[in-house]
Amino acid sequence: MSLVFDSFLPRVQAHAHPSSLVATPTGCSTLTSPSYANLSFSLFILFGILVSYLPQHHRIISRRSSEGISPFFLLLGVTSGTGAFLNILILSKDVLACCKVIGGFNCFAAGLGVGQVGTQWVCFAVILLLFLIYFPRNTEDLALPVSNTSRRWKNPLSNAHPTPATALTVTFICLVHFLVHLIAAFYISSLHPSKLTVYANFLGVQATLLASVQYIPQIYTTWKLQHVGSLSIPMMCIQTPGSFVWAVSLAAREGTAWSSWITYVVTGLLQGFLLVLCISFEVRDRSSKGKGAVADVNGSSYGAADTGEATGSEHADDGDEGEDSPLLRK
């Protein structure tokens, strides 16, 4: 990542006035007096991004299973985040180039927009990592009836019941996508700097398109399974309104364009729909359990499968691995 920063900074300095070492360049003067209200708001959003992802990370780890999470939802989310991060990084290059003359605190305030998008991208990538680590080793889905075993996890391209190969392939594609765009950004900034903004807007549009369909595979998976699985409702409760607040924050920052914030408006709308779907399933399940109407599946209810207690105890005596054993061992 430092290569991209280094390729951006010299160009700004080359056009700066010789006195930039002792005086603040005209383009950087607006960054020397940051709004403390805006700074506080940006820090609040940054903190909110970190906190919002913790419930999802915790739920996968505590269940020791990533069952119910669509691999294609993760694929689209990570690649969309990559585009959004590189988009704002490139568009903010002039702002970041001022860091050498405006001081550390002003640089920190000016770079919070990049920090927010980068943090969101990393936190979502952690979900992908946990999805891979805690991917069920056994190909049976605990939440489905026995009568459905013949069609469980057979198709490697299945969205609701993916194979381990699908999880590994999705992770590989995300890594390659990031490296390709990072190399392309470095190449364009070195040889065709005048086209860098066009490339940034291309990344922003790409991120928006990917984000526009990101939640469709997850909505389909959740609807197909008819339960929440390893999805975190608290995470969505925080992120759905937070997406719109974040979009407003990015739109008000220096060095950003519509392509930097439109992604979060789209994702907020789709995530809101998924949240309503998950809450409706959770309310239905809790209501059924309260009336004693939940039938046992192989001697255990969904509630037991949700906590990972049912299957683990079944195999504890004979030493076999549970159906929810992670794909990758610790």
**103-133 pLDDT tens trace:** 788 888 888 888 988 999 999 999 999 999 9
The pLDDT tens digits of the residues spanning 275-298 come to: 999 999 999 888 887 776 545 444
Q: What integer best gives the mean pLDDT of the chain?
A: 77
Residue 149 pLDDT > 70: no
1's CB contacts (< 8 A; 6+ apart) are 182
Q: Is the separation of the CB atoms in 206 and 259 below 8 Å?
A: no
User: Which tokens in the block code for residue 308?
Assistant: 């990972």
Q: What predicted TM-score, i.e. pTM, was given to this entire model? A: 0.71
Using alpha carbons only, give the angle 297, 301, 302 rounded to the nearest 5 degrees: 105
* pLDDT computed for residue 309 by the predictor: 42
- 217-230 confidence digits (pLDDT tens): 999 999 998 888 89
pLDDT of residue 111: 85
* Percentage above 70 pLDDT, the chain: 71
How far CA 116 is from CA of 11, 24, 224, 243, in Å, comes to 25, 26, 33, 12
Q: How far apart are CA 182 and CA 185, in angstroms?
A: 5
What is the H or E stretch that residue 79 is in?
helix 71-91
